[in-house]
A = this chain, B = another copy of it.
């Protein structure tokens, strides 16, 4: 199985259009030891002919163009992309679907609640159904197993909740367990994709310990990162993200995973691990973690 990181940043990307934090400012100036990153996006393939997208980021157009494996290879309209698996209805995870609307057949896997948010509450998604057979929706169980294009997908529910644009009344009509799912992909050696995780418990730790490679929520270094940088904002945990550092951060909570390749993905522009000369980057590397960059490819 090939796993390709098309984008490694959190929502907004790195740099972010309206941000002048130390990371963004120095990256634009060319004085940061670190790389720009587009918004989190993976592609996986069993045979390197047919590719499955994990989520559909807003940067998908540029991400496809910078990845020759994903270019059309035959006939006038074609794509090696066969399917899209959505882990939530967050804008960073779904907007790219609206970029794939040019009449090409795609299989889209999402929980029933995520599909309902997109297709019932957002008329724009009707653009995906202008012609028969354009997009076909498939139910993704919040917790279960299924095979897509020769790869086994195991899903598990994360308690992070629905995106901010889903109001309380609407959320009451949906299944909370279907708001956010984590994915474990593969048959022999497996890869875990958990771009947002509000919580770490024994069950999740057990699941990750069965994987060869773990791509995990690296959004924020500290719980109060945005509060400190912006002088007022939400804490990481309130936003559904386990911070990397601290007593109950992911470095400590996942320290027992010593046999896995551990990689932070969905990294926010304010996170000091984007600066490869920072103490935080050094600490992350010492703890056995990598930081994903656009273009990274893993063979399992």
Which of A92-100, A107-115, A180-188, A193-201 lies on the face that meets chain B? Answer: A92-100
The reply to whether the CB of A144 lies closer than 8 angstroms to some CB of chain B is no
Query: Would you call B165 and A126 a contact (CB within 8 A)?
Result: yes
The reply to whether the CB of A240 lies closer than 8 angstroms to some CB of chain B is no
Query: Would you call A117 and B123 a contact (CB within 8 A)?
Result: yes
A19→B76 CA distance, assembly (Å): 6
A24→B121 CA distance, assembly (Å): 35
Beta-carbon nearest neighbor of A165 in chain B: B126
A125 CB, min distance to chain B CBs, angstroms: 8
The reply to whether the CB of A166 lies closer than 8 angstroms to some CB of chain B is yes
Contact with B along A150-180 (1 / 0, CB 8 A): 0000000000000111110010000000000
Residues of B close to A98: CB separation below 8 A: 58, 91, 95
The reply to whether the CB of A72 lies closer than 8 angstroms to some CB of chain B is yes
Residues of B close to A13: CB separation below 8 A: 61
The reply to whether the CB of A31 lies closer than 8 angstroms to some CB of chain B is no
A12→B64 CA distance, assembly (Å): 12
